[in-house]
Amino acid sequence: MARMGAVTSKVDRQRSSRAGSVTAGGTRNGRGTDSARESLRTRIHAPRIADVDERIANIERATKRIKTDVQVDFVRTRRGRR
Amino acid sequence: MLDTSVVVEALLPSEPGHVACVAFLRRLTASGCLVVFNRLLQVELHETLFNVALKERHGKRWASARYDGRVRRRAGRLLEAGAGAWSELLDSLAWSSIDLSEVVEDVPKLMRSYDAPTMPCTPPVWGRLGSAIWPRSTTASPRCHKHV
């Protein structure tokens, strides 16, 4: 276990010593990198429905599925007010 | 970047921003632009739908009735409808999702550098993707306004 810890520490030191340490998804200063954008592109799911009109009709249908009179006021609830 | 609040308002007809959020999703669909969301969105959506069931039965006392088993049947139906609706939305959009595991290690550092952001805002996600995901969309939230 001690040996594993030592190896991890060495990797951490190497990471932190790099100028502008880069994560798998982007730079630490909050700006995306080309590789981050490329990674995102590879995971894009295209719309299953090809026809635009049909897609819009699908949106309309989806937003009418839930029937309720209750208001949850999601943003206020998220802020902790009930 | 699609925020949970937009999806909740679009799926629940009683929400004040329902019409605007449905119109917004229609425009997103028509434009064919990419929608990116955090996987927490789905968890928050489920939680919200469960809360709808609680509010329907208990009104203002809904928060203290969390463990009332009588709401579970209605909650189950709402969750089923919500999952179906969410799936239908995704069928109509070009989308990509960000998993919590991709950003969680940056959260403590970012929570120190930002003004106590809430997890659903996920600034780490924004930071990692940068300009790849602009513009993002959310309903108004005073706590989040710095990040919008």
B12 vs A contacts (CB less than 8 Å):
66, 68, 70-72
The structure's pTM equals 0.68
Q: pLDDT digits over B132-146, tens only?
A: 444 445 555 444 444
Q: Work out the widest C-alpha separation in chain B, in whole angstroms.
A: 47
Q: Mind listing the pLDDT tens digit for each residue in A63-79?
A: 999 999 998 877 766 66
| Residue B144 to residues A12, B2, B5, B9, B115, Cα–Cα distance (Å) | 32, 14, 12, 17, 9
Q: Is residue B143 part of a domain?
A: no
Task: Answer yes or no: is B139 within a domain.
Answer: no
Closest CA to B22 of B104, B92, B108, B106: B92
ipTM above 0.85, yes or no: no
Print the domain residue range for B35. 4-132
- CA dihedral defined by B26, B141, B9, A57, rounded to 10 degrees? 10
| Contacting residues of B for A40, CB less than 8 Å apart | 36, 96, 129, 132-133
The reply to whether B114 falls in a domain is yes
Q: Is B103 a member of any domain?
A: yes
Tokens of B75: 């909650």
Cβ atoms of residues B1 and B136 within 8 Å: yes
Residue B54 covered by a domain: yes
Residue B72 lies in a domain: yes
What is the rounded radius of gyration, in angstroms, for the C-alpha atoms of chain A?
Answer: 23
Asked whether residue B145 is domain-assigned, the answer is: no
- Chain A: give the shortest CA distance to residue B142, in Å: 9
